[in-house]
């Protein structure tokens, strides 16, 4: 696949091959970013550098997968195959954790929370988990981009709990300490499972979480990718571009780490 030149049309992007010369130009311009030193980790964030190491790098972006059923799991893997990326980021409700490439994801409100808790605490050894890396108020460096995430969804009755006091399915929520830690992240791309106010998704309730508002204002990402709503929309909040992601069984996205152009593709039949 050649490096895609992206043309925006009616909210979707069309990918056009531009040939070897343009690809080489892109790689040369990106090399400085791929080789730059990783800054020291902040007290609340783990920074890890991962290089794809190939040609014409892009990053796979996935919305909700709900891959605890056979049909959804087949769709998820169809998206991985179609993108052919070296690394992926995912915006929650993954629910399947044995993956073909390194995938950095936030927990949503539909997960195996025993697995999530083990990943959160670095205690997991399982044949059912491979290449799954949780972003829980932490950040990682991928192809020169700083990507961070806030795991969980909001519940007003649990927000002021200590995380260790959440039990069973209540572990799906984020709490104040999670948000405060995430506010200290230095990120280019932020993943959340709750949307900020002003997000134009169609729901039968008022969409928007003020703690996500505060997080975006504090971290000032260039791009905020949002799961949960199963709908593609684009908007801005506090100067940050906000994209709610279509679910993985409908669409997958390729992200250009150099320009942050996001190309949406239909997920092929599994």
Domain boundaries, the chain: 4-266
112-126, 142-156, 159-173: range with lowest mean pLDDT: 112-126
Whether residue 76 is predicted with pLDDT greater than 60 in this model: the reply is yes
Is the model's pLDDT at 162 over the cut of 70?
yes
CA–CA separation, 57 and 33 (whole Å): 12
pLDDT for the residue numbered 57:
82
R_g over Cα of the chain: 18
Rounded distance, CA 191 to CA 148, Å? Answer: 6
Query: Span 137-159, mean pLDDT?
Result: 97
Which tops the pLDDT comparison, 118 or 41? 118
Measured CA to CA, the distance from residue 113 to residue 120 in angstroms comes to 10
Cβ-based neighbours of 251, under 8 Å, separated by 6 or more: 63, 232, 245, 264, 265, 266, 267
pLDDT for the residue 21: 32
In this prediction, residue 122 carries a pLDDT of 87
4-266 classified as CATH 3.20.20.70: no
Contacts of 252 (CB under 8 A, 6+ apart): 60, 61, 62, 79, 82, 83, 264, 265, 267
Mean pLDDT of 94-123: 96
- Of 21 and 186, the structure prediction assigns the larger pLDDT to 186
- Split at pLDDT 50, 70, 90, the class of 125 is confident
Q: Sign of torsion, CA 47 243 193 265?
A: negative
Q: How many CB atoms lie within 10 A of CB 162?
A: 9
| Residue for token pair 């791929």 | 34
Percent of the chain with pLDDT over 70: 79
The predicted model gives 145-150 an average pLDDT of 98
Q: What is the pLDDT of residue 126?
A: 87
pLDDT over 90 at 71, yes or no: yes
Exposure string for 247-261, b = 16+ CB within 10 A, e = fewer: bbbbbbbbbbbbeeb
- Structure-token match 């799906």, residue found: 172
**Whether residue 133 has pLDDT greater than 70:** yes
| β-pair type (59-62, 240-244) | unpaired
Write the CB contacts of 138 (distance below 8 Å, at least 6 apart in sequence). Answer: 44, 45, 46, 148, 149, 185
Q: Spell out where the chain has E strands.
A: 4-9, 12-17, 49-50, 59-62, 88-90, 98-105, 130-134, 138-142, 145-149, 189-192, 223-226, 233-237, 240-244, 251-255, 262-266
pLDDT surpasses 50 at 38: no
Determine the pLDDT at residue 13. 40
Task: Convert the pLDDT of each residue in 210-219 to its tens digit.
Answer: 999 999 999 9
Identify the band that residue 23 occupies on the pLDDT scale cut at 50, 70 and 90: very low
Report the candidate in 16, 105, 19 with the shortest Cα–Cα distance to residue 62. Answer: 105
Structure-model confidence comparison of residues 70 and 122, the more confident one: 70
Count of beta carbons in the 10 Å neighbourhood of residue 54? 11
């Amino acid at each position: 696949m050649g490096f895609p030149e992206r043309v925006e049309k009616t909210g979707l992007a069309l990918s056009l091959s531009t040939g070897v010369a343009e690809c080489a130009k892109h790689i040369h311009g990106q090399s400085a970013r791929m080789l730059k030193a990783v800054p020291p980790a902040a007290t609340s964030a783990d920074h890890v550098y991962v290089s794809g190491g190939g040609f014409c790098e892009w990053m796979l972006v996935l919305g909700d997968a709900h891959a605890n059923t056979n049909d959804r799991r087949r769709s998820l893997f169809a998206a991985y195959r179609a993108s052919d990326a070296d690394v992926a980021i995912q915006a929650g409700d993954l629910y399947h954790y044995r993956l073909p490439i390194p995938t950095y994801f936030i927990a949503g409100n539909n997960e195996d929370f025993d697995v999530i808790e083990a990943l959160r605490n670095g205690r997991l050894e399982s044949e059912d988990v491979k290449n799954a890396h949780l972003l829980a108020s932490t950040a990682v460096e991928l192809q020169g981009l700083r990507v961070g995430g806030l795991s969980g969804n909001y519940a007003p009755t649990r927000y002021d709990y200590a995380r260790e006091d959440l039990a069973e399915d209540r572990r799906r929520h984020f709490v104040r300490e999670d948000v405060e830690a995430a506010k200290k992240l230095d990120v280019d791309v932020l993943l959340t499972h709750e949307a900020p106010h002003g997000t134009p998704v169609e729901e039968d309730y008022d969409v928007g979480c003020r703690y996500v508002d505060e997080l975006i204002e504090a971290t000032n990402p260039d791009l905020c990718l949002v799961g949960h709503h199963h709908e593609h929309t684009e908007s801005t909040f506090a100067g940050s571009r906000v994209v709610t992601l279509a679910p993985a069984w409908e669409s997958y996205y390729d992200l250009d780490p150099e320009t942050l152009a996001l190309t949406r593709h239909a997920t092929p039949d599994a």
